[in-house]
């Protein structure tokens, strides 16, 4: 059994010079989460785990941190309210008292912005130290507005004003992708979300390229700008329609086949985005990883190690990864192809083939994809949960 002086997280980060690890939650909850992780660890592992977690993010020294960026969404913001209410309730109460005529929706949006701003400030030192290459913190437009360009643009401009290191998350709908082009043309950093397959990732890449060309012709300053394209690989795999599509062609969708499906999409998008002939300006970001197949594997991370990409990792994924790969080698596998037999089987499945082919799904149909619908509804519900939290706070004032 191999023994490593560095954690699996550090070794993944070092699998290539271009590999970035981001924190998939608000920076405000990292300390509380890390404390709980250490508390539940075995006595003989507590000291080492505490050191490893401090390397990931140290709130007292964020400029020297392994997590060099942050992704958040309404669901993760709601977790802030649940995990550290003693810190955020005074902020919420002040917002409520200072805005007596605002609707609950407006108050919830102000709360979302306040929490986002507070978290973004923690990464400003890294943002400045890196000359604006690292330290970006994502802020998402309301997921209930995925087809409303005008309102999403208004919110995006509001979010960008919160802090210089804000990168605006926009949905992978036709309208959201157009919004990304607009924001890129005026030098506002963007992170696409609600993207699950190669066709959507490529539409975003093209929109960013067009926007950058327009902005460059206008003389826009891109020194504090970057673009990342998020693919939620686990959420593509887990939709029941995938299994039904496989069954329709006589294929059993095993856990291993599902994991390879997400990896195949990630590798294809990675190849297209990084092909210099395409001239894209974006970097691939992967999220929603799942453990498996089986015990002792986490293919979603292992098989893309060494890529020119970002991996954003939520607390549950970190817990799994540190355990599964504690004594397992982490090395570059990004250029290793998906096994031929696996790809042949996957390409027979209509659901997968549409998501793998660069033009397999029309842009007008992105919002109707089952992964998009399910995740949008989940995120939208979280915005409603924030409103409900505000309503309960109002009752106590």
Q: What is the mean pLDDT of residues 135-161?
A: 98
- In terms of DSSP bridges, do strands 166-171 and 136-140 run parallel, antiparallel, or are they unpaired? parallel
Mean pLDDT of 266-275: 99
Q: Which of 348, 264, 248 is nearest to 303 (CA)?
A: 264
Tokens of 176: 């959201």
- What pLDDT is recorded for position 96? 98
Alpha helices in 275-369 (DSSP H): 299-302, 315-324, 340-346, 350-356
What mean pLDDT comes out for the span 215-241?
98
d(CA 278, CA 276): 5
Mean pLDDT of the chain: 97
User: Sorting pLDDT into bands at 50, 70 and 90, what band is 1?
Assistant: low
Query: How far apart are alpha carbons 21 and 313 in whole angstroms?
Result: 7
Cα–Cα distance measured from residue 297 to residue 65, given in angstroms and rounded to the nearest whole number: 26
Element (H, E) at 107: helix 104-121
Long-range contacts of 64-67 (CB under 8 A, 24+ apart): 65/126, 66/9, 66/10, 66/13, 66/21, 67/21, 67/22, 67/23
Cα 94–chain centre separation: 30
Domain 8-387's class?
alpha beta
| Residue owning tokens 């400045």 | 128
pTM, to two decimals: 0.96
The whole-angstrom separation of Cα 49 and Cα 47 is 6
Instruction: In whole angstroms, give the CA distance from residue 363 to residue 173.
Output: 7
Cβ atoms 143, 171 nearer than 8 A: yes
| Residue from 319, 333, 365, 306 nearest 45 by CA | 319
pLDDT at 2: 76
Of 259, 5, 27, the closest CA to residue 138 belongs to: 27
Q: What percent of the chain has pLDDT over 90?
A: 97
Q: How confident is the model at residue 294 (pLDDT cuts 50, 70, 90)?
A: very high
Nearest CA to 262 among 244, 282, 281, 242? 242
Confidence of residue 358 (pLDDT cuts 50, 70, 90): very high
Cα torsion angle, 296, 193, 118, 377, sign: negative
- Nearest 10 degrees: CA dihedral of 203, 206, 212, 218? -100
pLDDT class for 3, splitting at 50, 70, 90? Answer: confident
Tell me, what DSSP letter sits at residue 298?
A: B
Read off the pLDDT of each residue in 101-109 and give the average, rounded to a whole number. Answer: 97
Task: Please report which helix (H) or strand (E) contains residue 22, including its range.
Answer: strand 20-23
Beta-strand ranges (E) seen in 99-252 are 136-140, 166-171, 190-193, 227-232
DSSP state of 194: S
Q: Cα 62 to chain center, whole Å?
A: 20
């Amino acid at each position: 059994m191999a023994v490593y002086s560095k954690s699996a997280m550090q070794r993944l980060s070092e699998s290539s010079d271009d590999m970035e690890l981001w924190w998939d939650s608000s920076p405000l909850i990292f300390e509380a989460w890390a404390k709980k992780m250490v508390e539940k660890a075995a006595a003989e592992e507590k000291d080492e785990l505490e050191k490893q977690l401090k390397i990931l993010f140290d709130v007292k020294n964020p400029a020297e941190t392994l997590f060099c960026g942050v992704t958040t969404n309404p669901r993760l913001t709601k977790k802030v309210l649940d995990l550290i209410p003693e810190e955020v309730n005074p902020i919420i109460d002040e917002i409520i008292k200072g805005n007596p005529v605002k609707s609950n929706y407006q108050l919830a949006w102000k709360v979302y912005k306040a929490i986002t701003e507070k978290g973004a400030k923690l990464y400003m030192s890294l943002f400045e130290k890196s000359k604006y290459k690292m330290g970006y913190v994502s802020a998402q437009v309301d997921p209930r507005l995925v087809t409303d360009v005008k309102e999403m643009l208004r919110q995006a401009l509001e979010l960008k004003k919160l802090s210089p290191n804000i990168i605006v998350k926009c949905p992978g709908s036709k309208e959201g992708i157009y919004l990304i082009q607009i924001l890129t043309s005026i030098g506002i950093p963007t992170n696409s979300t609600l993207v699950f397959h190669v066709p959507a990732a490529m539409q975003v890449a093209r929109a960013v390229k067009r926007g950058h060309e327009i902005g460059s012709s206008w003389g826009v300053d891109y020194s504090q700008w970057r673009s990342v394209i998020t693919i939620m690989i686990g959420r593509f795999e887990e939709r029941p329609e995938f299994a039904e599509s496989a069954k329709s062609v006589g294929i059993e969708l095993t856990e291993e086949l599902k994991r390879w499906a997400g990896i195949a999409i990630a590798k294809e998008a990675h190849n297209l985005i990084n092909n210099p002939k395409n001239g894209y300006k974006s970097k691939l970001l992967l999220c929603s990883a799942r453990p498996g197949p089986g015990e002792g594997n986490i293919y979603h991370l292992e098989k893309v190690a060494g890529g020119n990409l970002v991996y954003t990792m939520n607390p549950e994924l970190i817990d799994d990864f540190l355990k599964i790969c504690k004594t397992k080698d982490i090395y570059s596998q990004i250029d290793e192809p998906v096994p031929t037999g696996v790809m042949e089987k996957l390409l027979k499945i209509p659901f997968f083939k549409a998501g793998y082919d660069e033009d397999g799904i029309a842009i007008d149909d992105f919002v109707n994809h089952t992964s998009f619908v399910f995740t949008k509804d989940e995120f939208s519900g979280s915005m409603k949960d924030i409103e409900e939290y505000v309503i309960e706070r109002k009752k106590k004032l």
